[in-house]
Structure formats: structure tokens, C-alpha cells
Amino acid sequence: MVMQSEHARSYYAATAGQMPDYPCLGEELVVDVCVIGGGFTGVNTALELAGRGLSVVLLEGRRIGWGASGRNGGQLIRGIGHAVDGFARYVGNDGVRYLEQAGIESVAVVRERIEANNIDCDLRWGFCELANTAAQFAAFADEQRWLGDIGYGHETRIVGPGQMHEVVASDQYAGGFIDMGSGHLHPLRLVLAEARLAQAQGVRIFENSPALEIIHGSTVQVRCAGGTVRAGHLVLGCNAHLDDLEPRLTGKVLPAGSYIITTEPLSREVAQSLIPLDLALCDQKVGLDYYRLTADRRLLFGGACHYSGKDPADIGAYMRPKMLKVFPQLANVKLDYQWGGMIGITANRFPQVGRLSQHPNVYYAQGYSGHGVNVTHWTAKLLAEAIHAGHSHGFDVFSKVPHMTFPGGKALRSPLLALGMAWYRLKEILG
């Protein structure tokens, strides 16, 4: 199989500006920490480690931001995943409160990184969670009450079904919940800027340098085609693209395809009529829709999570009807970009953070299940704390949550999950 190393032909790649080329690894290096993976997890972990004075090499098999970090929906939404109170039996009530706060504070980490370094990534604030049913709409009152109880410092507002056209020009929804503490951005610009910050802190970055073999020991050796990195600690931040590099982790994350289309630029009037408050929006279907306006007034529309491992033959033809179901008024609008990518899904929809029990100097974070923009930045801090100080309360809380391996082995786990998700979609359709 030929490995495609260039960025997907996405709206993000077309508007990212200058993308620096980092060299391939071509020598033998010895450092404190080797990080594998050039997405948000790896780049931010390297940046956090370097800021604590450790020497770091970052290895990326393709290009920085090549995977989900550089081609996702760009939604920066509070939260870690599904309701974390279900993990109380593992982490206790104090642990649940920590996880709830982490879901909020992780957004602040991204905000501070962008503002402190004047990163141009089209950051705008405002998100609306969309209810597909009356029951989902009714649950927004509890969500707003909970945010008030914990002292959430941002405006929230429930939007009833009769006022939804103030938020989105669609008749599909039973109501909405606006959160002005979440927002949207250009993810590829962000991760590229963070890589430049890491390099400025002394991180040595190598692209097109896939790790071929890990040799464990008190000093970990990571072998690439052109050289080897020896390090006291190793961080695996490969997520959906871990493949067979570490079999003990591969089966715990299922790569799932998600797809995005982007229209031609819309007039100011049309764009404002579609999403008057310029919010990011996401519904609650099993195969959810998420969408927003870009800085140059295109509609960026994504969703349709696929577990089969096979991409649609024509992403535009596959996604356009989904967009038109929400916005039939765009029937004559042209699509300029269409692309897909793999996100890492876990069985419990909670990110996996920990270290290998057999090799305690090997750390990992993966499986963000759609919340990667903020949670990657949080887990990067936890990994750096644990490696630098030898202890991190947050790392310990995350690592207490157990994670199952998807059944069926490499050949069957995706088809089995695709069958299961098809059942949930059928239940959703039947009501």
C-alpha cells in the first residue's frame, strides 16, 4: 500500500497559509522523551514537555496535522465526552467533579494558547447544541442548571422551537442550547502554529518518519527507516492511526470515518440568514450533523460517522443530501471541497490516558471520540506533568477508567461495530 503523506485536499489545507516542511529523521538521537504523532496530542505534549526543560523528539509519519487534528470540524466544545458521572464507580465523586471541570478548563487551555501567542486560526465564540426530539430539548434545562451550579462563567441560553430561526435557518430541530464558552476555529492553522511554538522551545520535529519498531527497555528505542531515537520515555499520540505499532492499544480504539463538505463562498446576506449568530452547531443523532460558517462565509458541513472502514466513493454526493435536508435553500450552491478522515472511537466514548503496565515508561493518550480539539490539549498537560514530575493527579484520574478491547479482532471489529450502529440508527428512525 502506498502511504499518502500529503494533507487531504481540504478547505483547511487550501487556507492554511505557509506550511513548513520538517526533515525526515536521518540520524541517531538520544533525548529525554520521544513523542510519536504530529497531531494535537503529540504536538502539545512535546510543547508542554519542552516548556518543563526536557529534550524532546517528535516523529510524524506524514505531515504535522495530517490526521484528524488538521481536518476535523473545527468545533471547540466544552466536555470530555458522554456524561462522566457514569464513571463514579472508578474515580469516585471527587474524580467525577474533576472530569467535569476538566471538560470546561480544557477549552480555556486552548483559548490561552491562542491568545498568548497571537495565533491566527479564525477563533470565534458561540456553539449551539441542537435537539432532534422533545426529550432532548427538555434535557437542556438540567444542563443549564448544572452549569449554573458549578459557576460556569459564560452565557448560556435555551432556545425554544419557536425561536430556532434566530439561530439556524432550518425546520429540523426541536430546540437548541447556546453556549458562548464554546466556539469554532481553523484546526490546521492551530496545530501548525503549535508545532512552530514547540520547535522554538527546542523540540526536534521530523515529518515523513513513520515509526517502524519500538524496542522496549529502560531506554526506549524507536526505529525509523532513516534513524533511531533513544529516550527515557515514550509518548504514543497516534490515535486512529496507531495501526499495529502497539497491539496492546490498537484494539481499544476503532478508527471511524467522518466526512466534511464545504460550499463555495456565500454572500454576506445568505451566510447570515443560515446561521445568524455565527455559531458552531451540532445535533444529537447517532450519525450526527455538525456545521458552521468559515471565516470567508462558506458553509462547512460534516458528519456521517462510518465504522465500516470504507469511505464513500464520492464524499460530495454522499454528504450533499444531508446538508440539503438541513438547508434545502442551498440546492443550487456549488461545493468547493470534500474530504474525510479517521477519528478514534472508544467503546465508552471516553478518552484513554495512561501508560503501559508492562512498560511504565511508555505513555499514551487516544480515543477522543469527537472531542479532540480541547481534550487533546488537556491530556497533553497531564502527560507532561506525569513524565516530568513523576506524578499527576489528573493523569491518575483519567487512567483509572477501564477500557475494553473491541471484539472480533482486526478483521471483524469494524464490521461488528458497523452492524451495531446500524441497529441504533434504525431505532432512532423508528422513534
Domain locations along the chain: 1-122+185-252+350-400, 124-183+254-345+409-431
pLDDT under 70: residue ranges of the chain: 1-4, 306-309, 407-431
Query: How many angstroms separate the CA atoms of 216 and 194, rounded?
Result: 29
Query: How many angstroms separate the CA atoms of 406 and 414, rounded?
Result: 9
Report DSSP letters for 304-352, one per residue: EEE-SS---S-HHHHHHHHHHHH-GGGTTPPEEEEEEEEEEE-TTS--E
pLDDT digits (tens, 9 = 90+) for 132-159: 999 999 999 999 999 999 999 999 999 9
Query: How many angstroms separate the CA atoms of 410 and 423, rounded?
Result: 21
pLDDT of residue 415: 54
Query: How many angstroms separate the CA atoms of 137 and 141, rounded?
Result: 8
Angle at 280 between CA 279 and CA 283, to 5 degrees: 120
Model-wide pTM > 0.75? yes
Whether 164 and 173 have beta carbons less than 8 Å apart is answered as yes
Q: Which CATH class is domain 1-122+185-252+350-400?
A: alpha beta
Residues 6+ apart with CB under 8 A from 110: 76, 190, 373, 374, 377
pLDDT of residue 409: 58
pLDDT of residue 309: 62
Q: Which CATH class is domain 124-183+254-345+409-431?
A: alpha beta
pLDDT digits (tens, 9 = 90+) for 217-238: 999 999 999 999 999 999 999 9
Whether 262 and 337 have beta carbons less than 8 Å apart is answered as yes
CA neighbor of 367 nearest in space, from 357, 353, 381: 353
pLDDT of residue 141: 98
User: In a 10 Å sphere around its CB, with 0-12 CB exposed, 13-18 middle and 19+ buried, how is residue 295 labelled?
Assistant: middle
CA distances from 143 to 8, 156, 176 (A): 37, 10, 12
Query: How many angstroms separate the CA atoms of 195 and 192, rounded?
Result: 5
pLDDT of residue 406: 77
